[in-house]
Chains A and B, each alone.
Chain A
Amino acid sequence: MNPVERLYLDALEEGVERDDRPSPGLLLTTARARRRPAAVTVPWAAPYAGRVAAMDAVLASASTDDWARQVVEGWTLQQLVAHLTAKDGLVAADVGAPVLGPPIGTRDPLGRTAEVQAAEEGRSPEETRETWRAQADALCAHLADVDPATPAAPDGLAIPVRDAILARSLETWVHADDAARTSALRLPPPVADQLHPMADFCTRLVPWTLLATGTDGSGSTVRVTLTGPGGGTWLVPLDVGAPEGVRECGQGDAEAHDAQACIVTDVVAFCFLLGGRGAPDSLPAEIEGDRELARRVLEAAPVFSGP
């Protein structure tokens, strides 16, 4: 915007009466019909409802070409959306929410993905989008009556649904970002309130990623500081059996200095690393203390990121 235009708009703004504008009238009602707002749900599922709405915003901008373009895993955007429906459906089945699409034949995430993708083949992208969104919204609505400790296993391993839904938030976010990039759009990160629980979940995964890669971290603790809105500082004992698990702490806390290694990095970059986006060795991070330990932690981080 050049200075003349800025001046023109400022003059216009100064010249109009604050009261002289149409009432919003049916604005919100019409807006809801154009693009659904985030589903109303329990606070612990709000990050998921938010990422679903963000994915829907990406889909709202998708052209016919975008829908047919490969995004990840050799899947087109339409197949990717079917993949999200499939995995959301597995969580839905675990908590007794409605499962959309074909009946569940297999609980293997990739097998279930193939089932839903086959059912969506030949349907229009809008229909695939509608089924995915309806599945997500049905899950959100159902969670109001679900104990957050109820086990759910979208990836094979049973974890409390409260965490399973954070895993779904992270995957929906990562794929929304994949799709946005393919369409040359820039997806902004979640608001801080919704990002923080996802960041917390990612730090709690760290000991398990080490275990899964066969690295023995027992007896060691790392301090992870995630910068930016939604970030924080966590003490992460690397032994999954540690009596005191991963916990958030103030940077000034005395115990925060007990760690063998400290990693400081951007909160979004860290969540994406766990989500399988970005290479551990190119992550912009400041490391103090045991560099070898910190390197092993970062290298193990993406281990659970599937398709």
Chain B
Amino acid sequence: MGLQGDDALLHQRVVSGDESALAELYDRFSPLVFGLCVRVTRDRTIAEDITQEVFLTFWERPLAFDPERGTLRAWLATIAHRRAVDHVRAEERKKPSHLGPRLFEREPAPMEDSVLDAEASARVRHAVQSLPAEQREALEMAYWGGRTYRQVAERLGLPEGTVKSRIRQALRQLAGMLAEEGVR
């Protein structure tokens, strides 16, 4: 939260041809991008290739990103997700069908600029419901209510540190649940 200024500066540096900005960017965002790609493709080698390609895309055409319209994290995640899903779909089309040739190919859903489709969003919301009450309360205040850690802490009458660790625990639990459910 509050990394907007950072995003703008990294963007300026990449536009100005500063390679060290690309290295910093990779350092900061590659675990997320790679994690997302592994989750969607379930193939580490493919995920590595897509991860590289996402950062190369940003370097080659940095003006496709506009810091006034969203965070760099969300932009990179969106590109990564789109490429990973494209890969999975292309693989599925290659698989021979047991029933012989298909009469018609189902049209792929139009790709929106989002990381989660409606079904996956519903699963995330559902997973939040099964968190322990304490964690869920803090998480919902922060995300659905759009509050900062400090504001959540004030409302709950807890130290900010406690709220922070509660939310982090919740996020880790959530990551585990989503991995089991195979949310893409």
Complex contact B15–A57 (CB within 8 A): yes
A194 within 8 A of B: yes
A180 within 8 A of B: yes
B134 within 8 A of A: no
Complex contact A15–B171 (CB within 8 A): yes
> What is the size category of the interface that chain B forms with chain A?
35 or more
Number of A-B residue pairs having CB atoms within 8 Å of each other in the complex: 173
CB distance from A182 to the nearest CB of B (A): 12
Cα–Cα, bound, A162→B141 (Å): 56
Cα–Cα, bound, A25→B30 (Å): 12
Q: Which residues of B contact A34 (CB under 8 A)?
A: 56, 59-60
Give residues 70-105 of B contacting A (CB, 8 Å): 70-71, 73-74, 77
Closest to B113 in A: A1
* Residue of A7, A30, A56 with most chain B CB atoms under a 10 A cut-off: A7
Closest to A10 in B: B171
Complex contact B16–A53 (CB within 8 A): yes
Complex contact A22–B31 (CB within 8 A): no
Give residues 251-307 of A contacting B (CB, 8 Å): none
Q: Which residues of A contact B183 (CB under 8 A)?
A: 8
Complex contact B16–A15 (CB within 8 A): no
Given the known inter-chain contacts A4-B125, A27-B55, please indicate yes or no for A35 contacting B143, CB distance below 8 A: no
A72 within 8 A of B: no
Interface of A is mostly: helix
Complex contact B17–A53 (CB within 8 A): yes
The 8 A CB mask of A43-68 against B (1 = contact, 0 = none) is 00000011111101110110000000
> What is the size category of the interface that chain A forms with chain B?
35 or more
Q: Which residues of B contact A73 (CB under 8 A)?
A: none
CB distance from A134 to the nearest CB of B (A): 15
Complex contact A1–B19 (CB within 8 A): no
Q: Which residues of B contact A54 (CB under 8 A)?
A: 15-17
Q: Which residues of A contact B66 (CB under 8 A)?
A: 186
CB distance from B157 to the nearest CB of A (A): 24
Point out the residue from A15, A17, A27, A189 that lies within 8 Å of B56, measured CB to CB: A27
30 A-B pairs in the complex with CB atoms less than 8 angstroms apart: A1-B71, A7-B171, A8-B124, A9-B74, A11-B175, A12-B36, A14-B171, A14-B172, A15-B35, A15-B174, A15-B175, A16-B35, A16-B175, A20-B34, A21-B34, A22-B47, A22-B52, A24-B30, A27-B23, A31-B56, A32-B19, A35-B17, A49-B17, A51-B16, A57-B17, A57-B61, A57-B62, A57-B63, A61-B64, A189-B12
